[in-house]
């Protein structure tokens, strides 16, 4: 009787050991120590381009190494002309990929979950969103940018993920979480 | 019964062959441990129903025995009664060993008052309390003890905290296996199904060396239930339903035990909740789904035994949708808003953000007792933890986790418990552990924690010595070796300039540089010494005094060394530092306890001095393409925590009982002379219960809990420039939440439902007055109120 018991015990132990080995081997099947992840969602570059015939103004924010590391740079190609109607488009890129990945397309495809907000400290400036999502609410990839009298100030561009739509046009009323928040110094002359 | 039949059969056999009844049996009784001869033990000879008593030399003699089986039942004061049988066909001499240590016996009896070590300062919750929390978490259950609080993320992710310390400073030992489930994270709750445990012990004092060197906060022991060695099959099922979250839990267990010492247990539980509700609104996306199962088989006898255990915990936990925010502007908006940003109707859907965690734990333990030496235990265990955290993401990545980590841990350990010297018990143990973390690729973000391998080896020795009948002393020392080898990519600018690692750690660099990142191989080796000293004295008037000193050392965890990146829901960039070194704590704790039915109490003051305490604090603001973020960095300071836990029980009448506790704590950052961050506020609990055994064991209990406002907190508030408003806005991340009081009610009744079973009904109400409140130790306190009123019904069937 005692022998049978110990045989049982040994068998059980063996079974457990086998199971545990099976576990260990299972756990290493999708080992991936050689490759690593690129920041796929990263937005490195925001380009806002305003066009009126040959009068082209480009606002660029670029942070090629993403969060952390070196700080980003803001470049504004030149002053805007007073009392002018510009056609404007925004482009978001991930330039750590080669070729650069166009994040704007993703935003466009999920227009109902995203919205751009443009806020200028110059009171004469009016920005109107021209494009709409599937529900008929604005997205803000394509805009018209109308300048008034001369002045200088700033332009803040925000991209909100999961905003409340429709909203009153301000990012504060839209809630959501911020994917892009950049500010450019602008001058109207 | 069986015994009787066998006995009868044997007796009959004996009679039928009773021609030669001239044999003599000579026996010698001695103690199993130290070989001491045992005199005046009673020996009952079953076959002839005769008694003899052992003499001064432990010897006894039975004459005129017939051939056949002889069954002896030996009993002695302070010994386990032992039954042995021998086949007799000649004169015979046998040495028989008895188990002479009562304390050892207590190990197998289920007792709620028994301490894990006699000098230890600890508190425990037993099975019936655990059952009250069957649809909650380990952290919630422990919260009912004085000195224990919790760090929460919402209401379903609850991390236990002892004396203000949590995560890597707390050891959680589940079935004698140290839990490794990415426990460094503030929002990573222990992956333990509370329903699978029989008892949970919180060790606040210093007796933790057997399990690790780094229990600066303390130790939580989740222990299985022990079963008596009888032939039995029993089980229970419990259903719990709640009005808040429209969900509940179902738990079933079945246990088979054999007289031979074999036992087996199967247990499974399933829990599901939809969106919980604060008094005024639903907490959108706060539901959870949870499936657990555990199996145990084993064999236990005095001399040897084994125990094999496997458990799986599968958690899917929704995280309040409103807590997903972008930059610091969103955080300011959230703080200023009185209600969460997203309030939808009730739903069972668990959307993003959420956590999916799968945790496997398996172990096998075997022991054998050796004469004149002690008990040797060997254990092998392994754990696999897979953690996926999902966030709100764009495009193809929306169903891809942002964090995907797999942690594999296995360990082999042995312990030799020596008890052959009178009054002294000595434990010597050794452990080797290997751990591998795999940051599973495909997440599309650089991993928060890199791939790493960790090797550990430890040895310890602990002695318990009885100074005299009423006082005991305990001392131990432990050495730990650990080595961590990681593969991590750093941003080149951070590596070379921000942190100057290129000069500090040139040996970690590899030549692999891609775009803006550099691959490095950080490697660290640590040697730790930890120790403890304990003393206990028992006075005649149910009064005991305990005093503990402990030296604990903790090495930086992977997140403190390596974490690097944006932490959603906190709107902060968290940065680990390679320059961190180990922290060392001196812990003093004392306790005066009166164990009396009419009036009992325990008063336990403690003091901890922690040198090079690692803490995560805000250090500045960084501007990214997403806007401004505060940067939180680890730094090291000297800290001091002192406090007192007071527990009182008072019998008012035969049926009325009062239980109260109070926890006071004060944490100080000595280096900067400011309060320590994230310390629990003063809190107190009162409860009055009524119990009537004659009325179907009717129990009614009214519980009151007050948590005061934490007035002592470090001010890490800051200003940030808000480009749209074109002004600086104040970011109040430090101010603490106001005091609150909550009332709850429990009641239960038991019925004898059928022949061998019983039915227990419970009705409970939590937050009776539907009070609006926020908990300062909830990481989501900026976003929403805590839960409102909840009605709960539990039905338990024992069979």
For residue B129, which phi and psi values (nearest 5 degrees)? -70, -40
Q: What percent of chain B has pLDDT over 70?
A: 93
Quick check: B134 and B141 in contact, CB under 8 A?
no
- As given in the structure block, the two tokens for residue B659 are 């239980």
Is the same domain home to B96 and B226?
A: no
Tell me whether residue B125 is in a domain.
Answer: no
pLDDT attached to residue B453: 95
Rounded CA separation B15/B13 (Å): 5
**Tens digit of pLDDT for each residue in B712-763?**
999 988 888 877 777 888 888 889 999 999 999 999 998 887 777 889 999 9
For residue B694, the tally of other CB atoms under 10 A from its CB is 7
Tell me the C-alpha to C-alpha distance, in Å, between residue B18 and each of B11, B12, B13, B43, B68. Answer: 10, 10, 8, 22, 9
Residues of A in contact with B724 (CB under 8 A): 119, 156, 158, 171-172
Cα dihedral B15/B16/B21/B25 (nearest 10): -70
Answer whether B418's CB lies under 8 Å from B371's CB.
no
Does residue A9 fall inside a structural domain?
no
CA distance B127 to chain A (A): 28
Weakest-pLDDT range from B133-137, B188-192, B413-417, B568-572: B568-572
Q: Which residues of B94-130 are buried (b: 16+ CB within 10 A; e: fewer)?
A: eebbbbbbeebeeeeeeeeeebebbbbbbbbbbeebb
From the list B382, B451, B487, the residue facing A24 with the nearest CB is B382
Q: Is residue B577 part of a domain?
A: yes
- Tell me the sheet residues that pair with A50: A57, A88
For B360-405, the three-class secondary structure string (H helix, E strand, C coil) is EEEEEEEEEEECCCEEEEEEEEEEEEEEEEECCCCHHHHHCCCEEE
- Strand arrangement of the beta sheet that strand B82-88 belongs to: B50-53, B42-45, B68-75, B82-88
Summarize pLDDT for B669-680 with one digit per residue, the tens.
999 999 999 999
Euclidean distance between CA atoms B502 and B518, whole angstroms: 11
Tens of pLDDT, residues A129-155: 999 999 999 999 999 999 999 988 889
> Is A87 domain-assigned?
yes
- For residue A171, the enclosing domain spans 45-188
B547 touches chain A (CB under 8 A): no
CB-CB neighbours of B789 under 10 Å: 16
A121 and B393: CB-CB below 8 Å?
no
Give the separation between CA B378 and CA B381, rounded to whole angstroms: 10
Residue B378 near chain A (CB below 8 Å): no
Predicted confidence at residue A40, as pLDDT, reads: 61
- pLDDT of residue B113 exceeding 70: no
Residue B229 is predicted with a pLDDT of 81
Assess whether pLDDT exceeds 60 at residue B109: no
From B489, B565, B623, residue closest to A36, measured CB to CB: B489
Q: What does the alpha-carbon distance between residue B792 and residue B134 come to, in Å, rounded to a whole number?
A: 11
Question: What chain A residue is nearest to B569 in terms of C-alpha separation?
Answer: A177
Q: Is B206 inside any structural domain?
A: no
> Which residue in the set A23, A40, A69 is minimally distant from B362, CB to CB?
A23
Q: Taking a contact as any Cβ pair under 8 Å apart, which residues of chain B between 330 and 349 contact chain A?
A: 330, 333, 341-342
- For B797, half-sphere exposure in the C-beta direction (CA atoms, 13 angstrom radius) is 10
Residues of chain A positioned with their CB less than 8 A from the CB of B310: 19
Whether the pLDDT of residue B16 is over 50: the answer is no
Chain B, residues 281-340, CB within 8 A of chain A, namely 297, 299, 306, 308, 310, 324-327, 329-330, 333
pLDDT one-digit tens code per residue, A53-85: 999 999 999 988 777 777 788 899 999 999 999
Who's near B542: CB < 8 A, 6+ residues apart? B594, B595, B596, B600
- Look at residue B82 in the predicted model and tell me its pLDDT: 80
Set of chain B residues whose Cβ sits within 8 Å of the Cβ of A101: none
The verdict on residue A52 lying in a domain is yes
What's the rounded mean pLDDT across residues B579-607?
91
B339: how many CB neighbours lie within 10 A of its CB? 13
Asked whether residue A55 is domain-assigned, the answer is yes
pLDDT (0 to 100) of residue B31 = 76
Q: How confident is the model at residue B10 (pLDDT cuts 50, 70, 90)?
A: very low
Q: Do A65 and B393 touch (CB under 8 A)?
A: no
Structural domain ending residue among the three candidates B52, B78, B100: B100
The domain that holds B271 is classified in CATH as 2.40.170.20
Q: Does the beta-carbon distance from A161 to B565 stay under 8 Å?
A: no
- Of B269, B140, B125, the residue nearest B790 (C-alpha): B140
Given a contact cutoff of 8 angstroms between Cβ atoms, the answer to whether B451 and B487 are in contact is: yes
User: Over 60: is that where the pLDDT of B144 sits?
Assistant: yes
Helix (H) or strand (E) holding B26: strand B23-31
Given B100, B119, B135, the domain boundary residue is B100
Cβ atoms within 10 A of the Cβ of B304, count?
A: 17
Tell me: pLDDT of B33 over 80: no
The per-residue pLDDT for B69 is 83
Confidence at residue B560, expressed as pLDDT on a 0 to 100 scale: 92
Domains: count for chain B: 2
pLDDT tier for residue A11 given thresholds of 50, 70 and 90 = low
Provide the pLDDT for residue B494: 87
pLDDT computed for residue A34 by the predictor = 44
What's the confidence (pLDDT) of residue B107?
A: 31
Tokens of A138: 């604005």
In a domain, A71, yes or no: yes
Beta-bridge partner residues of B52: B43
Residues 6 or more apart whose CB falls under 8 angstroms from that of B180 comprise B383, B385, B407, B409, B435
ipTM of the complex: 0.76
Residue B341 lies in a domain: yes
In angstroms, the separation between the Cα of residue A59 and the nearest Cα of chain B is 14
Confidence of residue B19 (pLDDT cuts 50, 70, 90): low
The pLDDT, as a whole number, for residue B68 is 82
What residues of chain A lie within 8 A of the CB of B333, using their CB? Answer: 172, 175
- Of the pLDDT bands very low, low, confident and very high (cuts 50, 70, 90), residue A37 is low
* Residues of B in Cβ contact (< 8 Å) with A5: 260, 299
What is the reported pLDDT for A3?
47
Question: Do B394 and A40 count as a contact with CB atoms less than 8 A apart?
Answer: no
Residue B620 contacts A where some CB pair is shorter than 8 Å: no
Name residue, tokens 């305490």: B613
pLDDT at B99 over 80: no
CB atoms B362 and A16 under 8 Å: yes
Chain-chain contact of B492 with A178 (C-beta, under 8 angstroms): no
What is residue A14's predicted lDDT score, i.e. its pLDDT? 56
Which range, of B19-23, B563-567, B727-731, averages the lowest pLDDT?
A: B19-23
Does residue B113 lie within any of the structural domains? no
Digit-coded pLDDT (tens) for B501-526: 999 999 999 888 877 789 999 999 99
Pick from B45, B75, B100: which residue ends a domain?
B100
In this structure, the answer to whether residues B96 and B233 fall within a common structural domain is no
- Interchain contact, A177 vs B308, CB within 8 Å: no
CB contact under 8 A, A41 and B575: no
**8 Å CB contact of B384 and A27:** yes
- Cβ separation A13–B306 shorter than 8 A: yes
Task: Note the pLDDT tens digit of each residue in B262-307.
Answer: 999 999 999 999 999 999 999 999 999 999 999 999 998 888 999 9
Q: Which of A68, A71, A118, A179 to mutate to test the interface with B (most CBs of B within 10 A)?
A: A68
Residues B545-562 have pLDDT tens digits of: 999 999 999 999 988 999
Chain B CB contacts of A103 below 8 Å: 394
Residue A184 pLDDT more than 60?
Answer: yes
Q: Where are the alpha helices (DSSP H) in B107-245?
A: 127-132, 138-142
B730 and B587 housed in the same domain = yes
Most confident region among A8-17, B212-221, B279-288 by mean pLDDT: B279-288
- The encoded tokens of residue A57 equal 């103004």
Does some domain include residue B64? yes
pLDDT at B93 over 90: no
B224's tokens: 């299985």
Mutate to test the interface with A, among B367, B434, B510, B626 (most CBs of A within 10 A): B626
In sequence order, which residues have a C-beta less than 8 Å from that of residue A14 and are 6 or more positions away? none
The pLDDT, as a whole number, for residue A4 is: 47
Q: Is residue B632 part of a domain?
A: yes
Q: Which chain A positions have a beta carbon within 8 Å of B486's beta carbon?
A: none
In a domain, A23, yes or no: no
Residue tagged 């002479």 (tokens): B100
Residue count of chain B, please give it: 799
Please name the residue that has the structure tokens 């470090």: B714
Residues 6+ apart with CB under 8 A from B5: none
> What domain range includes position B40?
2-100
Q: Residue B86 has which token pair?
A: 């021998």
Per-residue pLDDT at A25 exceeds 60: no
How does residue B568 score in pLDDT terms, banded at 50, 70 and 90? low
CATH number of domain containing B37: 2.60.40.10
Q: What are the angstrom distances between the C-alpha of B578 and each of A15, B451, B527, B633?
A: 43, 15, 17, 12
Tokens of B717: 């508030």
- The count of domains in chain A is 1
Question: Cα–Cα distance between B705 and B684 in angstroms, integer?
Answer: 6
Residues of chain B contacting A37 with CB distance shorter than 8 Å: 439, 441-447
Give the number of other CB atoms < 10 A from CB of residue A106.
18
For the ranges A23-27, B415-419, B455-459, which has the lowest average pLDDT? A23-27
Please give the structure tokens belonging to residue A174. 């839209």
Instruction: Supply the mean pLDDT for chain B.
Output: 87
- Predicted pLDDT at B9: 45
Name the residue in chain B with its Cα closest to that of A183: B723
Residue A104 contacts residue A114 (beta carbons within 8 Å): no
* Residue B390 pLDDT > 50: yes
Residue B244: pLDDT above 80?
yes
Nearest to B444 among A17, A40, A158 (CB): A40
pLDDT class of A32 with cuts at 50, 70, 90: very low
CA gyration radius, chain A: 27
B442 in contact with A, Cβ within 8 Å: yes
Task: Count CB pairs under 8 A between chains A and B.
Answer: 176
Separation CA B186–CA B168 (nearest Å): 10
Residue A63, domain CATH: 2.60.40
- Residue B688 · residue B747 · CB < 8 Å: no
Pair B565, A67: CB distance under 8 Å = yes
Residue of chain B nearest A110, judged by CA positions? B395
Q: Report yes or no on B209 lying in a domain.
A: no
Residue of B nearest to A97 (CA): B515
């Amino acid at each position: 009787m005692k022998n049978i018991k110990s045989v049982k015990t040994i068998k059980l132990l063996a079974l457990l050991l086998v199971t545990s080995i099976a576990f260990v081997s299972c756990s290493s099947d999708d080992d991936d120590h050689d490759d690593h992840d690129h920041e796929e969602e990263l937005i490195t570059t925001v380009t806002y381009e305003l066009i009126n015939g040959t009068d082209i103004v480009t606002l660029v924010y670029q942070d090629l190494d993403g969060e952390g590391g070196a700080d980003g740079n803001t470049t504004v190609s030149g002053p805007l002309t007073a009392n002018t109607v510009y056609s404007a488009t925004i482009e978001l890129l991930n330039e750590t990929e080669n070729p650069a990945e166009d994040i704007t397309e993703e935003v466009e495809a999920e227009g109902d979950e995203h919205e751009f907000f443009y806020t200028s400290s110059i009171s004469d400036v009016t920005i109107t969103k021209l494009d709409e999502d599937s529900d008929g609410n604005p997205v803000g990839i394509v805009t018209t940018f109308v300048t008034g009298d001369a002045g200088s100030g700033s332009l803040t561009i925000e991209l909100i993920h999961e905003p409340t739509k429709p909203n009153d046009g301000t990012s504060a009323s839209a809630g959501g979480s911020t994917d892009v928040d950049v500010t450019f110094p602008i001058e109207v002359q | 019964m069986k015994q009787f039949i066998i006995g009868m059969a044997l007796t009959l056999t004996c009679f039928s062959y009773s021609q030669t009844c001239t044999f003599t049996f000579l026996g010698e009784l001695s103690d199993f441990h130290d070989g001491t001869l045992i005199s005046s033990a009673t020996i009952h000879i079953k076959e002839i129903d005769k008694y003899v008593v052992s003499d001064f030399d432990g010897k006894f003699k039975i004459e005129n025995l017939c051939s056949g089986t002889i069954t002896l039942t030996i009993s002695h004061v302070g010994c386990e009664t032992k039954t042995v049988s021998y086949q007799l066909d000649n004169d015979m001499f046998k040495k028989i060993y008895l188990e002479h240590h009562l304390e050892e016996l207590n190990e197998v009896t289920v007792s709620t008052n028994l301490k894990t070590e006699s000098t230890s300062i600890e508190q425990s919750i037993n099975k019936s309390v655990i059952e009250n929390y069957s649809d909650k978490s380990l952290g919630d259950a422990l919260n009912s003890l004085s000195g224990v609080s919790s760090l929460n993320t919402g209401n379903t992710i609850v991390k236990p905290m002892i004396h203000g310390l949590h995560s890597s400073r707390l050891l959680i030992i589940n079935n004698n296996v140290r839990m490794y489930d990415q426990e460094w994270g503030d929002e990573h709750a222990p992956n333990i199904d509370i329903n699978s445990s029989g008892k949970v012990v919180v060790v606040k004092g210093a007796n933790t060396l057997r399990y690790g060197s780094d229990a600066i906060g303390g130790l939580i022991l989740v222990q299985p239930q022990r079963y008596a060695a009888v032939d039995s099959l029993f089980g229970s099922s419990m259903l719990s339903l709640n009005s808040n979250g429209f969900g509940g839990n179902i738990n079933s267990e079945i246990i088979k035990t054999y007289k031979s010492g074999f036992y087996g247990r199967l247990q499974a539980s399933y829990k599901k909740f939809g969106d919980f509700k604060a008094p005024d609104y639903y907490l959108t996306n706060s539901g959870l789904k949870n499936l657990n199962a555990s199996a145990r088989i084993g064999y236990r006898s005095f001399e040897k035994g084994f125990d094999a255990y496997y458990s799986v915990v599968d958690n899917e936990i929704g995280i309040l949708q409103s807590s997903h925010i972008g930059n610091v502007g969103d955080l300011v908006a959230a703080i200023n808003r009185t209600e969460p940003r997203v309030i939808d109707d009730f739903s069972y859907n668990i959307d993003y953000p959420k956590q999916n965690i799968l945790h496997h734990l398996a172990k096998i333990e075997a022991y054998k007792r050796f004469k004149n030496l002690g008990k040797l235990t060997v254990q092998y265990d392994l754990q696999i933890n897979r953690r996926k955290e999902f966030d709100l993401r764009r495009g193809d990545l929306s169903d891809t986790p942002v964090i995907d980590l797999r942690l594999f841990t296995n360990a082999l350990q042995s312990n030799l418990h020596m008890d052959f010297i009178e009054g002294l018990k000595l434990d010597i143990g050794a452990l080797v552990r290997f751990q591998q973390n795999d940051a599973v690729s495909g997440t599309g973000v650089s991993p928060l924690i890199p791939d790493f391998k960790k090797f550990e080896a430890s040895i310890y020795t602990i002695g318990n010595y009885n100074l005299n009948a009423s006082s005991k002393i305990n001392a131990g020392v432990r050495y730990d070796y650990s080595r961590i080898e990681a593969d991590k990519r750093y941003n080149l600018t951070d590596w070379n300039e921000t942190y100057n690692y290129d000069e500090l750690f040139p040996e970690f660099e590899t030549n692999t540089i891609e775009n803006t990142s550099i691959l490095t191989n950080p490697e660290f080796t640590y040697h730790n010494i930890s120790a403890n000293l304990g003393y206990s004295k028992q006075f005649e008037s149910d009064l005991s005094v305990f005093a503990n000193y402990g030296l604990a050392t903790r090495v930086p965890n992977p997140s403190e060394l390596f974490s690097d990146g944006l932490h959603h829901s906190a709107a902060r960039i968290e940065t680990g530092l390679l320059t961190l070194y180990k922290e060392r704590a001196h812990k003093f704790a004392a306790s005066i306890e009166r164990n009396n039915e009419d009036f009992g109490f325990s008063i336990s003051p403690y003091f901890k001095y922690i040198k090079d305490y690692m803490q995560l604090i805000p250090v500045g603001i960084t501007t990214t393409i997403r806007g401004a973020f505060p940067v939180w960095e680890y730094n090291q300071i000297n800290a001091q925590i002192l406090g007192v836990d007071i527990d009182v029980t008072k019998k008012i009448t035969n049926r009325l009982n009062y239980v109260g506790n109070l926890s006071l704590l004060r944490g100080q950052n000595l280096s900067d002379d400011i309060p320590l961050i994230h310390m629990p506020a003063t809190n107190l609990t009162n409860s009055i219960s009524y119990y009537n055994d004659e009325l179907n064991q009717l129990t009614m209990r009214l519980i009151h809990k007050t948590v005061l406002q934490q007035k002592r907190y470090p001010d890490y508030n800051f200003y940030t420039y808000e480009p749209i408003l074109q002004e600086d806005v104040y970011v109040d991340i430090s101010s603490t939440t106001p005091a609150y009081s909550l009332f709850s009610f429990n009641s239960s009744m038991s019925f004898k439902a059928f022949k061998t079973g019983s039915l227990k009904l419970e009705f409970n109400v939590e937050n009776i007055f539907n009070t609006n409140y926020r908990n300062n130790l909830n990481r989501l306190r900026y976003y929403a109120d805590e839960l409102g009123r909840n009605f709960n019904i539990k039905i338990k069937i024992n069979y």
